[in-house]
Structure formats: structure tokens, C-alpha cells
Amino acid sequence: MEQMKEKWSGKVDEITIGALEKDGGTRTSSVTVGGETVLPYLFKEGGMPNAPVIAMEVIDTEPVDWPAALKEPFADVLKDPVKWAVKCERVYKAALVCVKLAGTHPDFGNKTADEAAKLVKDILEAVKVPLIILGSGNEEKDNVILAKVSEAAKGEKCLIGDATEKNYKTLTASCLADGHNIIAESPIDINIAKQTNILISEMGFPHERVVINPTIGALGYGMEYAYSIMERARSAALIGDKMLSMPFICFVGQEAWRAKEAKGSSEEHPEWGSGTSRGILWETQTAVCMLQAGADILIMRHPKAAEETQKYIGRLMQK
Amino acid sequence: MLVIGELINGMYKAVGEAIAGRDKKVIQKIAKDEVSAGAGMLDVNTGPYEKNPKDAMKWLVEAIQEVTDVPLAFDSTKPYAIEAGLKLAKKKAMINSTNSEDEKLDILVPMAKKYHASLIGLTMGKSGVPRDKNQRLEHAVKIVTKCQEAGLDISDLYLDPIVLPLNVAQAQGAQVLESIREFKFLCDPSPKTVVGLSNVSQGTRERPLINRIFLVMAITNGLSAAIMDPLDRGLMDAAITAELALNKNIYCDSFLSAYRKK
């Protein structure tokens, strides 16, 4: 029987995070994602030159709302984000470290831009993998914080986020000036994703340095909706829509560990089995689905979930 | 839809003079303007009065390819002028055009195959322009059959239903639109379709409006390509919007500029 094969004319942008010494940075490794010419893992119809990667999340303030199962692997470093980053790199072999500056939020610590910039510099000094840097999500404060942080990390080719449809100008200007990549976020909405990308590119920012954060839901919390949005965007990219042809970043850990099924302890829900493995499975399952939807970068929390997902990526990439 | 820019045509005074005086700058500016306005291909026509169309075609192709790499459509009644262009083309080119007459088909179909070019097939023959949809379909069947026999990929064939000016052949508008729809059913994979758009408004007073409306109607009927003026922004906007309404592109608030970034 003849196999029906789809022919695609477009290509996902290829983007490199992290600048090596020869590129003017101080990283000892860089990470390249994207470049797909086919829907995820359909190797008979096209290529995926770069395997998806996992970045592990580090938070600038001790996370008070994390369940015990998630705190346990990081118990010795939760109060010290630099050591935490080092542990992700050395012990858990993360390809990238994602630093979330949650403590700069006016309601959750209100750390200053100088403190944030110093932390990022210290982490850049302590770890040698590329960095993803996120603000707290407070738009006004992020515009101050991220501008300073971007400058402090100038030349390191970080991935910084998130720019949104209503708040993209300051961050775009900073990333342009300091040579970083940018994350463009949209609320599970393909039209807004495209609009945000075009607004950023109209500022003269090359679309080849943008990563789409489509925002996702975890297993049981709208995961399939996120999947369908990503699939539609990727199909458009593959027929040549340049304003949707960027790689995807998915905040798997954050979403999975928000689910009550993931964070509920064994004592609260004895009928659900072990709290620890339940959370890990929840995160892994969400990651697997996002990979199938076309995710290029996964931001994960539990090292065991990251390890299992990494094995799965290895199996998926076997042609 | 593929927009084929029509402005490099020796029939236009400035272009004719530029060809005669071998003034590259004029041609290159038009080429760049057409491409930045959204043309995905450029039609190249030396004009009806050129004494040496072969040399003029060569010169035009070289001048254009110095400034852009979009593919070219070689538009001439002389097969040797078309071939001169094909020999120099850097991208998959188009032959504009054959009709359903054997003497044309026998030369141009093999030429398309040899140079891996697409081919425009005008659905007309010796008897002149077709009167209705059925005559158009008869010519179309003949062209498709010839191409199939020669082993040309039918998805490289663009059938042209012959657009006529609304002010002299008003009844033909609907016939053309129906033909565009029905050409697609001639075989599988379907042939593509193309129109020389500006002809629809020739000699009328509301040229931009008529072009715009007719193009949208043709797109609705499944048109694959149009030879048109990409510098008419209203016309381009109408085409982009029509394709958006047909769900060919994903909506965003800035969909017009998003399309132009493709």
C-alpha cells in the first residue's frame, strides 16, 4: 500500500540560546531548538534537526506553596537560588536553567531591580549552561526589573520573558539592545499569539529570536485545548506563516503542580496512592502531551519527572 | 493565492523605454517594488513591438535577478523568447502562455517539462475567445490531456479562463467564475487556475473597484493565481482579506501586515 505523505513548504525557526566564549558570552554550552519541517516526530515526511530540551526551574525566593514531594529534592538549596541553579546543572544535568524572579513582585517580596540583576549575574557566574529568565508577571515591575536584568546579562544570549500583546515594548527593546532572545506569551489563543509576534517583529526584532509561550493547561486542566492551539499554529508555520513559525516553550512544571491531583498529599487523598509519584507522573504526562503537540522547550520542576521525560524524548527521536 | 506582478511589460511606456535604452535601474526598481508589495512571482514581457525579444528577455531576466530571487513568468508569443528566459531562470519559472492549439502545445508543453517550469494554458484556440463555460472546458480538457500525455505534472498547469472586459462582454464574468470552479474537477490532482485580472476593467471608469471585486469573487471560486498590479494596495488588501475569510490564513488584528511578512 502506498503511504500518504504530507508535503510541507514551511519551517520552524531555529533558535540558539546561550553564547559561548567565541560568541562573546561565557557559557560552555549552548542549546539550539526548532528547525522542524514536519509535524512532531513524523520523520518520514520531514526533519526535526533538534531534539526538544528540558530546562529546570529555579525561583529567587523560597517557594512556600510547593508540596512536600516537590520540595524534597531541593530541600538543601531552596533558600539559595544560586546553589539551586548549580544543583540543577551538576546533579540533575539540566540543559538550561530557568530563573523565575517571582520575589520581585510587589506582593511577594518586592525585591529591587538591582537585587534581581545581582542574582542573575551570580547565577551566570556559578552555572555554565544557558539561562532562561522570567519576571514575576507583574507588568509594571517586570518592565523595570527585566530591563536591568537584560543589561546585566548582556551578550549571554539568554531567553527572557514574557512579552505580551499589551506589554511588549520595553522587553523587546531590552532584548534587542542586549542580544537576547524573547518569549512571546498569549493566553491559549492563536490569534493573540500571532498578533504578539507581529507587534514584536514590527519593532525590528528578528522573528528568528522569538519563542512562543502558548500557555498550557496540565493534564485534566485544558491540556487538550493547549494541544489543539499548538497543533494549529505549527500547521500554519509549516505552510509558511512566518508569524507563527517560532519554537514553543511550555511551562509544564508550573501547570502540572498546580493540579490538586499532583499536589494533594497521601494523607489528604489516601485513595489516590502515593503523593510523590502521583505528582511526578502528573508532570511527566503533561510533558509527554506537550512534546507530541510540538513543544521545543519544556520548563520542568521535579528532577524525576525531567529524567523520565528526557528518556521519552530519546525514544521519540529514534527514527 | 499566488500574486504575479504584471508591471514589467514593454507595453508600458517607461518599461519600453528602459528596455530600449537598457536602463537596468528602472526595471530593478519596479521588480523590488512589486516584491515588497507582496508579489510572489514577476511576469516579464518585452512588449509587443520589441524587434529582438530574445535579447530583450535575456537582459530583463539578468537585470531582475540581480535584485530579487522571486520566480519569474516569461510572457511572450514567441517560444524562443520564453526559452531564452527559462535558460537563465534561477528559480522554478512559469511559461506564459500556451493556448489549446496543437502547434503551441507541441512546443510549449515539452519546454515546460524540460525546464521544470509551470505552464499557463489559455482556454482558447484558433476560433478566438470562448463564448461560454462549455467552450472553456473543451479547451481545458484538450490542454490537460496534452500535458498528461507528455508527462507534465498537472499541478504545474495553470488554466486561464480568459477574463474579458465587463463593459464589452458582461455575460462572460459569470462564465469565467464558474469555469475557475469547474476546472478543478477535470482531474486529480487538479490543475491550478490563473487570471489576467486587469483585463476585466479595461476601458471602464471604475477600474480599481472592478478589479478588486472581481478578484475577490474569483478567489471565492478557488482561484490559484492572478497576474495583477501588486502596487494597488486596495487590491492586495482585498485579496488578503478574501483569503482570510476563506480560512487560508490565521486571523490576527494586524492580519494585513502579517500577510506581507510571509
- Spell out the domains of chain A, with CATH numbers in brackets: 25-316 (3.20.20.20)
Q: pLDDT below 50 — which residues of chain A?
A: none
- Chain B positions touching A194 (Cβ under 8 A) are 250-252, 258
- Chain A positions touching B251 (Cβ under 8 A) are 191, 194
pTM score: 0.89
Give the distance between the most distant pair of CA atoms in chain A.
Answer: 65
pLDDT attached to residue B157:
98
Q: Which of A190, A199, A201 sits opposite B250 (nearest CB)?
A: A190
Supply angle C-alpha B180, B185, B189, rounded to 5: 105
Question: What residue has cell string 490559484?
Answer: B224
Q: Where are the domains of chain B?
A: 2-260
Number of residues in chain A: 319
pLDDT tens, per residue, chain B with 262 residues: 999 999 999 999 999 999 999 999 999 999 999 999 999 999 999 998 889 999 999 999 999 999 999 999 999 999 999 999 999 999 999 999 999 999 999 999 999 999 999 999 999 998 889 999 999 999 999 999 999 999 999 999 999 999 999 999 999 999 999 999 999 999 999 999 999 999 999 999 999 999 999 999 999 999 999 999 999 999 999 999 999 999 999 999 999 999 887 6
Distances (CA, A) of B242 to B177, B221, B223: 15, 11, 11
- Chain A positions touching B261 (Cβ under 8 A) are 198, 201, 207, 242-243
- Judge: A195–B253 Cβ closer than 8 Å, yes or no: yes
B9 close to B43: Cβ distance less than 8 angstroms: yes
Question: How many angstroms separate the CA atoms of A255 and B143, rounded?
Answer: 59
Tell me if the domain spanning B2-260 has CATH number 3.20.20.20. Answer: yes
A vs B, Cβ pairs < 8 A, gives: 38
pLDDT attached to residue B262:
66
- Judge: B252–A233 Cβ closer than 8 Å, yes or no: no
- Sign of the C-alpha dihedral, residues B249, B252, B255, B258? negative
Chain A contacts to B (CB-CB under 8 A): 190-192, 194-195, 198-199, 201-202, 207, 232-233, 236, 240-244
The residue of chain B with its CA nearest to that of A202 is B257
Cβ neighbours of residue B149 under 8 Å, at least 6 residues apart?
A: none
